[in-house]
A and B are shown apart, each in its own frame.
Chain A
Amino acid sequence: MDVQIEEKEGAGASPRHSSVPRALFFVGVFYGVMLILNGVSMRESAALLEYGWQRDALCRLNRPCEAVSRSTRAFLFREELRKTVGRWLNTAHAKEGE
């Protein structure tokens, strides 16, 4: 088995790497925007979990995100996408073929 690893060192060699504070700021912005865009859906997903401390904790955690998401109406972006492209993609596939 002449399998030879091609350790692509290039895989970590992009010339403009971020400093740690910059990377952490990136992570923070990512989480912030993600929560605003997905607050409503995350709250709905948490509500679907089995009853227990995890469900309670996630629901409580997601409540402020849901409020921000609703007040900014940012949740509509995901909702619209889900209702259009998402629904087209995920309706039962076999029906289309029959």
Chain B
Amino acid sequence: MLFPTTVFAVFFLIVCYTHWALTERPKTRKVFLLAASLFFYGYWSWTFALMLLASACINHGMAVMIDALQDHRLRRRVMIGTVGFNLGILALFKYTGFLYKQLFTPLAVPLCHWLGATEHLVEMQERVLPFIDQIVLPVGISFYTFQALSYVVDVYWRKVEIARSTLDFANYLAFFPQLVAGPIVRASDLLPQMGVFPGRETGIDTGRAAILILGGLFKKMVVANWLAENLADPVFAQPDAFASGADILIGIYAYAIQIYCDFSAYSDIAIGCAILMGFHFPINFNAPYFGVTLQDFWRRWHISLSTWLRDYLYIPLGGSRAGASRTWCNLLLTFVLGGLWHGAAWTFVLWGAFHGGYLALERVVRRACGLSEKPAEHPHRVLAFLGRIWIFHVVCFSWILFRSPDLTACGEMVRGLGRWEVAPTLWTARALLVLLVGFSLQGLDGDRMQGVWRRFNALPVIAQGALAAVALTIILALGPVGVAPFIYFQF
């Protein structure tokens, strides 16, 4: 079920009203919310919904065992086993094809040829490949697997209380606004809210919810869809068809803005829907292209994933505590795995390696210049401006790796950037206007719009509702016909 559709609008209306109508019946309310979340997910496939439910039961069961065990070694083994189980399921769905085709086959072909067992390999390929091609990646599996992992590990570290029941944990894992494309809400944030549901006395920030939902819909339906359709998709699909490097460049800029508008839109709508149901999610984007260094960018982009990788991968690996070279290795490994989390392809591995490598380089340069490793809170204005422009272009370069279907296409894009003899065709006033609007939408992130929320909240309720409906109508009239799925659904 996609957010910007009539089906979701009807679904949300029913769920929101029923959720609040059941405040006097807490148990029924929890069961209802879980059923609604499973219906939301099962709208794609009921098999996936059952898998999610099974994941919730297994992970909670293992967490209860970890919590109850006294023997440290045994606890550790159960925790590692549970983490392995989750990663194994993720790998089965997401990486089987990649591992088989990109790693196993290139190694097995010369080996079998040398051993004279090529026929056996061909026989095996005939049996295995159809099975691999049938594997369908359940939408959002990477997101809920990471949530489950954070819960199990936090219970092991005794950072979070065990969920009161499987129902509470299942509601945490399956809560529909964040289920498919995040934010990856930690157990410590959401689980207590799932234990005791918000009551009638809860204050609802309708202003914030409305701005987030409408802003998200505008980002997705108007800006991201327009940029994808008119600039990014044509350029990335056939870079050779564009004779000017300037066209390739605007295609890359368009993708940078598109992916921000697309992904942050999902997070915004998820946070807005959660607010209307009385739940609180942490922010996931905070004006990422305003980052003055790459480290700063990662503090602002997909915050729930970057902090997850920091807390459950980078710090356990040793973080920055074990010397400079070890820190660089940890950064590189963390980001390569972060890249792989996005998808099973060499382009994602290289994208991660690029970010990890650049972050390591940034550390070296800052240290050599005698600067602190963290950027200053209030850097000099001119330096900050130049830093933002530079980092935006560094990130844009990395999006070539991220968006290109393979390394050949990536090479074509880079080569295309070198052609400047012909006049560009895509640099129109309309394209620049949409790019500028998309870039400016970062102003909606964080609490920058607090004043607008307050003014909206101060309006009479009828005016609030009417204003929001008019704004939605404008968005629908400006957007193209049809709804494209969110980019992050594929991860």
**Chain A contact residues, CB within 8 Å of chain B:** 1-8, 10-20, 22-34, 37-38, 41-42, 45-46, 54, 58, 61-62, 77-79, 81-82, 85-86, 88-90, 92-94, 96-98
Contacts and interface: CB of A to CB of B under 8 A. Distances in A.
Contact of A89 (B310, B374, B430): B430
Nearest to B43: A54
B204 A31 contact: no
B298 interface: yes
B278 interface: yes
Contact of A3 (B203, B278, B306): B306
A32 B461 CA distance: 13
Interface in B202-229: 202-208, 210, 222, 226, 229
B393 interface: no
A2 B331 CA distance: 10
Given A2-B374, A5-B307, A90-B226, A46 B6 contact: yes
B465 A33 contact: yes
A63 B476 CA distance: 19
Contacts of A54: 7
Contacts of A41: 476
A93 B431 contact: yes
Contact of A18 (B6, B280, B457, B470): B457
Nearest to B189: A7
A18 B203 contact: yes
Interface stretch (B48-56, B382-390, B401-409, B447-455): B447-455
Contacts of B7: 54, 58
Interface string B296-315: 00110001001101100010
Interface stretch (B13-21, B32-40, B131-139, B411-419): B13-21
A6 to B, nearest CB: 7
B469 A33 contact: yes
B300 to A, nearest CB: 9
B307 A58 contact: no
A-side interface mostly = helix
B458 interface: yes
B478 A17 contact: no
Nearest to A92: B230
Given A11-B208, A28-B465, A3 B473 contact: no
B206 A58 contact: no
Given A4-B299, A41-B476, A45-B6, 20 more contacts: A1-B295, A1-B314, A3-B299, A3-B307, A3-B310, A8-B286, A17-B457, A22-B461, A24-B17, A26-B465, A27-B16, A27-B17, A28-B465, A29-B461, A30-B472, A33-B465, A78-B473, A85-B477, A89-B226, A98-B425
B466 interface: yes
Given A58-B6, A81-B473, A93 B428 contact: yes
B18 to A, nearest CB: 11
Interface of B: 6-7, 9-10, 13, 16-17, 20, 200-208, 210, 222, 226, 229-231, 234, 275-276, 278, 280, 282-283, 286, 295, 298-299, 303, 306-307, 309-310, 314, 319-320, 330-331, 334-335, 359, 373-374, 424-428, 430-431, 434, 446-447, 450, 453-454, 457-458, 461-462, 464-466, 468-470, 472-474, 476-480
Contacts of B10: 61
Among the interface residues A3, A15, A31, which one has the most CB atoms of the partner chain B within 10 A?
A3
B457 to A, nearest CB: 4
A77 B466 CA distance: 14
B427 A97 contact: yes
A19 B204 contact: yes
Contact of B462 (A1, A29, A46): A29
Among the interface residues B275, B427, B430, B479, which one has the most CB atoms of the partner chain A within 10 A?
B430
Contacts of A61: 10
Contacts of B479: 86
B292 to A, nearest CB: 14
Among the interface residues A7, A62, A93, A96, which one has the most CB atoms of the partner chain B within 10 A?
A93
B307 A14 contact: no
Contacts of A20: 20, 200-202, 204, 278
B450 A38 contact: no
Contacts of A2: 295, 310, 320, 373-374
A93 B430 contact: yes
Given A58-B6, A89-B226, A12 B473 contact: no
A52 to B, nearest CB: 12
What are the nearest 4 A-B pairs in CB distance?
Answer: A29-B465, A17-B203, A33-B469, A81-B477
Contacts of B465: 25-30, 32-33
A25 B17 CA distance: 10
B426 A30 contact: no
11 contacts: A10-B447, A15-B454, A17-B205, A17-B206, A20-B202, A23-B276, A24-B17, A24-B20, A26-B461, A29-B469, A30-B468
Nearest to B427: A97
B250 to A, nearest CB: 10
B475 to A, nearest CB: 10
Among the interface residues A1, A6, A96, which one has the most CB atoms of the partner chain B within 10 A?
A1
A19 B480 contact: no
B425 A94 contact: yes
A89 B478 contact: yes
